[in-house]
Each structure stands twice: as structure tokens, then as C-alpha cells.
Structure 1
């Protein structure tokens, strides 16, 4: 396996710039997820890594090799597509072996590699079936098996689960996680699904309009998003972004925002002394994850309940604050519409953003 370095990569189609100086570096054995909505440039970036798209400017290195001008076959990569791309007239065994056969790998070695991949992916009993006899999840396993037997330096996955139903997606996420753990492989994985990103990745690059908005470990991206776009995109329900203000305070920083039932005051927000001093008395955007509200402890957010949504393991409560709709995720609780409550907030989990740039304040 190998590290991957993407340095100042740009891609344009005429005057339309799809990628705008992308910089990403991951180590040997990392699982990088390129996360973002349709049209953000993530699939274009994957195709550039694969050699399926020409690069306008910048460098792509796989291991220590500059691969800008290398064709896909010389990059030592294996790609798993959304569409499976299996040969319908071949058996599972023949599909997995086909690439090795083309490269002149001896039959005995092909058979051994195929059996090993099938055992790893729990499909040894399917080797003599045709793709038409398989479920979507089984077909995706075959596509993964075909990639595994190549022993590439880099695995590339292009939204491999998007054609599967919800349960199969969960099952296949587990399979891909297990595959990564067993192989120690370096993987680049494209998705618009932030649950896939959080569960699979060791590194996440959140993209928008051809720009990497935040690159980091999944928990860092979730807890300390670089800007309000990342805050809203990662997490379900999304982080609440509430217009408020930072108050002058001799002690721990305190933020305030209005509710229909009075002012909410949250003390003990994590902020550097310099930023606290510079923004004292100024407007800020207050970011609070839904699960960081509770009905326990000292209630500092007085509100009236607008909507209650029981989900089984938890209850979503919707209310108004700062002129916007806010969602709290609580342990199962019975609340009535219009009921007056006071929520406590985990102050050390609150994230503040500059309302002009929408970037995080540290």
C-alpha cells in the first residue's frame, strides 16, 4: 500500500473551474472519504487520481511516484464503481479472475487468489453463479473481490453503495470496514452520505464548489467544523446555527441569544482569550449539536416546545431561538406541544462562528 499526496490540484473545463487548488495528504493505510453533494468535484478528483481525467495543474503522487502523466493501468490502483461493472455471461469466479488472466497470471495462482478473496468477503458459495443470480450486495462483493486480487497500492471506491437499499448499505459498510482492517489498505472513497464518511473514514475531506472546506479526522470534522457549511452538512440532524452575541466577561466566555421566552445565556464556551477579547460585545453564530441539549442540570435556554418527534432510541424536540428553528435530541421523553421547558447546554461543546466569514472562531 502507499501514501497519497494531492498538491495544488486544479481542474477546468474551458472557463469552468471544477477543482480549485485541492491539497490533501494521507498516509499508508489511511481511509480517505471525499464527502460532499453532487457537483462539488469529489468524483472528478477521484477520476484524476485514477488517471481517467487529465489534470489542469498541480501534482498527484501515489507513494513517491508522480503519476500526472501515467495511464490508469500503470498507476497500480483498483477501482470499485457504483454500477458493479460485472460481465453478465461470466461466473463470479471468472469475473474475479478476469483481470489476472489478462495480465498473464498462472491459473493456479489465479485460483488461489480468487478463493482467498471469496473467503474474505464471505462469498465462497457464490463462485459458480452468474451476476444475474446475485443480489445487489453480492454483486458489490464481487466487484470488491475483483479489486482485492490485484493487490494494488491504492483502492478507489466511487459511491459503491448508492444503488443499494438502506439495510444493504449498512451491511456493506460493515464489509468495507472489515476489508480495510484486514488488508490495511489505502482507500479513497467518494460519497455524499455523511454517515458513510463518519463510520468508514480515518480522514474526511468535505468539499463544496471544488474547494476542500475541511480536511481532518471524522470526529474533529464533527466536533469542530471549520465553517457553517461543514457544520450543517455533517450530522443528522445538522448542527443548529443560532444568531447570538458574545458578552463581555471577566471569566469564561458567555454567549447569549434570544428566545420567545427570554434570553438564553451559556457560560463557559471554549474560546481563546484573544478571540474572546476581539469579539466581546459583537454578534456571533452559535453552533450547538442537537445532542448537546438536555433537560438535566441548570436550564439556561427557556423555550416553548413546537414539535415533538419520537424516533425510538431518542426524541427530537423542535423549538425557536434566535429567529431560527432549533432541534434538540433527547433521551426518550414525553413533552407536549406548547410546553414550557428550560434546556441545559454542554457549554464546552458549543462552537462559535464569525457571522461575516462563517468560519469557526477558536
Structure 2
């Protein structure tokens, strides 16, 4: 009996291994093709934009000889397919070019500014989850009644109001008039560069340094832009949660659970909500990626020194290396978060495995 079990287990492992290998191979191939497409799009954008990279480097008063030498040094005299090959090679080596605005490698600039965007988008996503999921559940349970109408109205406002307008009103009311929150920027100016830069995330670095005064100051600065940015996430997540819950509450297993005498709390929050977790994980991951990408206006309004602010400054300065490097990072984040959501719902739902 033990021998048969061992053989069966071994045979199962042998049968399972090729399937796992094929799954890993398909995922890796999909990521590689997607990333290659992203590289192609950013390359084309850099070539069709009405900005001459060589002219941006040497200036419009440079001689023709200097201009042509700059084009040759940057590889712009080569055919487009060769330029694209060099572009792929440089990106794979971590070389995104040099920023004209900061005179530093774009990769170093992005490593410096991206933690600020990550910090802002992460807290905004927490706002979306903490408020959006319960609001969506309550709206679905009370379909057609006043709680449902209130949630849908709040969601409509979240989709309709421009982020920059909401940010300016928030600064005027909560910072300028009431003084409840900190102003633009991540910290008051006399707190900058006080704690060691370990992770780049001020809230974490201040806690690691044990400086609760700087932690409180950083929290007062981030709470308003995170709430403004998170309002969109709340609207999106609550709307999708409501849609998923309405579908589940109409299923027969919900009626069966109620007939068996299971409490309404367990029926809603355990059974129905448990079955919407798989699609909800994907929704939250996509919302997070959109916040990382869509924080440009929020960062501009609040002078938040993140990736969005960096891309905007690069665009206004015709610094295409900075713009394309930031765009490439945002696209890579989208790909990574999609892959992560796929792995998470495989863990949550055994049927997906």
C-alpha cells in the first residue's frame, strides 16, 4: 500500500511538473511580449514627438557641425530599426539616458522620486479599500434604497470632479482656512533631509529613525493629497464591489444559506463577499496601477516630488529622456501589478489553480 501511494504521488508529480512548466513559460512569454510592445510604443513616441533630442542637448544656437556630431553620438543618424535595437539594449542594461533637466541619469532620478509616488498611491489605495469595499457591499444589500443612492451619488462625484480642482479646494479649506493639514510638499522645509534616506518613504524612514515629530509632520502633509487621489479609488472600487455583490446575492447558494438559518451577516460578509474576492483583487490591483499613473495632476497641485511631478517637469522642459523613462516605468508597473493580481487570485481561489 505504501509503495503504491509513493508511486502514485511520484506519478502525479511527474504529470504536474510539465503543466507547471508550461504555465510559467506562458506567463514569462506574455510578460516579455508585453514589455517589448511597451518599449516599441515609447520608442515611437520619442521619434514622432516634435522635439529634436540632439537640438535639446546642444541648443538652437549651436553650429551645424556640433549638431551633426551630437546626432551621431546619440545614434540618431542610424536607421530606425538599429536605433530601436540600441534602445532595447540600453533599457535592459538599466540605461534610460541622461536627464537634460537634472544632468543625472534618468534611472537614478526615477529611483529617487518613485518612492514618493509609491507612498502616495499606496495610502490612496488603502483609502479606496477601507471605504470603497464596505460602501459597495452596503449599496448592493440596500439596492434601490437611500444607502444605495448615496453611495452611487458619491461615486458619481468621484468620477466627475477634476482632481486638480478638488485638490485646490482641499488646500484652500483644510490647509488655508482650517489649518488641519500640512501644505504642499512632503515635509515642512526645516524637516527636510533630517532623517536618513533608507527606503525613500518618509513615513517609514521617520519611524526607523524613531523621530515621531517628523512622522507626524509627514502624515499631515500626505493625508490630503492621498484623500483626494483616493477619492477616485473609492468611487471605482465601491462601484465594482456593488456590481459583483449584486450578481452574487442573486445566486441560489445565497438563498440556500438563508433557508438554512445562517445569519445575514455571515451570508453577506463571508459567503457573498468571499466569492467576489477574486475579481475584486484584480480591480484593486488595476486601481493601484491607475493611481501610480494618474497621480500627475495631484502631485503637480500639491508640489509632491514624485514620478508624476518629475514627468511633468520633463515634459515642460522638453526633456524626452525623463518623460519616456517615467512612462516606461509606469507601464512596467502596470505589467507587474497585473501579474501580481493573477498570482494572488490563484492563491485565493483554488478553482483558478
Shorter-chain-normalised TM-score: which range? under 0.3
| TM-score normalised to structure 1 length | 0.26
> Which structure features the higher share of strand residues?
1
| TM-score normalised to structure 2 length | 0.26
Which structure has more RCO (C-alpha within 8 Å, separation ≥ 6)? 2
